[in-house]
């Protein structure tokens, strides 16, 4: 019997690659994103190539109550979610004092609230069945403060801490929760953060496909945390050995250097 993966932010980037990986394994899909046209295109592609069933839910998860709407729609169709991939999220660049509060609030709602609520809604069913896997997309940003992207870094620190804690709570119940912590990845993330569709931040970024493949393997093995790339893993480990003030200053220099294009 086919398993089902629910993937948020599935219309592009890492989320789309997760959809392709699960489809290639014979998993049916529930795909959630804001763009109906993009989701329809993905549905046609994956159903034709892999002969699976894809159900799309067009939803802005930054809106209050959206996570519950997704859960209720899935439940009404008697879909059992075996894999929950909380991928949807976005960032913003600039000093916090001059930031657009509406954008910061939406970031918190999407990166933290929606992810947490979806986990709360789908986790009890997994526990009842005695199986299930959750993957939450955090970031290399989870491991230190991030001046000029303060809310984004803080939101990803929450995702990492939350995921590790919940994994500990459910690991004896046949469930695993994995935090995927990628560094810079080829996607439209930086363009959205800088409000510039032509922005290319770094030519040495990992591909979304590579990051998704690493995340998928880690989820299937039940690893609590995975950091794609040796350099990224080294950086995440190294910050433990320096004073927090020093790490924060260095993070600001790095962030400002990335965006001086």
pLDDT digits (tens, 9 = 90+) for 62-100: 999 999 999 999 999 999 999 999 999 999 999 999 999
Rounded Cα distance, 99 and 93, in Å: 8
Tell me the backbone φ, ψ of residue 244, rounded to 5 degrees: -60, -40
Q: Above pLDDT 70, what percent of the chain?
A: 92
- What are the chain's domains? 4-258 (3.40.50.720)
* Number of neighbours of residue 238 by Cβ within 10 angstroms: 11
Judge whether 82 and 130 are in contact, CB under 8 Å.
no
Rounded Cα distance, 189 and 208, in Å: 11
Rounded Cα distance, 158 and 141, in Å: 11
- For residues 152-178, average pLDDT: 98
What is the number of residues in the chain? 261
Active site residue 152: yes
pTM of full prediction above 0.85: yes
- Here the tokens at position 221 are 């093995």
Judge whether 45 and 69 are in contact, CB under 8 Å.
no
- For residues 17-40, average pLDDT: 98
Rounded Cα distance, 67 and 137, in Å: 16
> What pLDDT does residue 81 have?
98
Judge whether 67 and 121 are in contact, CB under 8 Å.
yes
- Active-site position among 50, 55, 83, 152: 152
pLDDT digits (tens, 9 = 90+) for 111-149: 999 999 999 999 999 999 999 999 999 999 999 999 999
Q: Where are the alpha helices (DSSP H) in 28-131?
A: 36-50, 66-76, 101-108, 115-129
- Here the tokens at position 245 are 């003030």
């Amino acid at each position: 019997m086919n398993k089902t993966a629910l993937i948020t932010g599935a219309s592009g980037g890492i989320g789309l690659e997760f959809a392709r990986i699960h489809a290639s394994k014979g998993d049916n899909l529930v795909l959630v994103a804001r763009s109906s046209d993009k989701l329809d295109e993905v549905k046609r592609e994956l159903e034709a190539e892999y002969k699976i069933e894809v159900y799309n839910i067009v939803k802005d998860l930054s809106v209050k109550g959206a996570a519950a709407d997704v859960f209720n729609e899935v439940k009404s169709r008697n879909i059992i979610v075996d894999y929950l991939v909380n991928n949807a999220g976005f960032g913003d660049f600039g000093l916090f004092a001059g930031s657009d509060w509406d954008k910061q609030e939406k970031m918190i709602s999407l990166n933290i609230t929606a992810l947490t609520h979806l986990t709360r809604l789908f986790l009890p069913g997994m526990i009842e069945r005695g199986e299930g896997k959750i993957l939450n997309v955090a970031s290399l940003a989870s491991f230190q403060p991030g001046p000029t992207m303060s809310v984004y870094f803080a939101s990803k620190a929450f995702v990492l801490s939350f995921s590790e804690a919940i994994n500990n709570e459910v690991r004896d119940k046949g469930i695993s929760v994995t935090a995927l912590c990628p560094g810079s990845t080829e996607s439209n993330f930086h363009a959205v953060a800088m409000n510039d569709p032509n922005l290319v931040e770094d030519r040495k970024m990992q591909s979304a496909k590579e990051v998704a493949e690493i995340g998928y393997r880690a989820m299937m093995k039940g690893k609590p945390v995975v950091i794609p790339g040796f350099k990224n893993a080294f950086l995440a480990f190294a910050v433990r050995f320096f004073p927090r003030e020093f790490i924060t200053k260095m993070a600001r220099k790095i962030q400002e250097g990335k965006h001086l294009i």
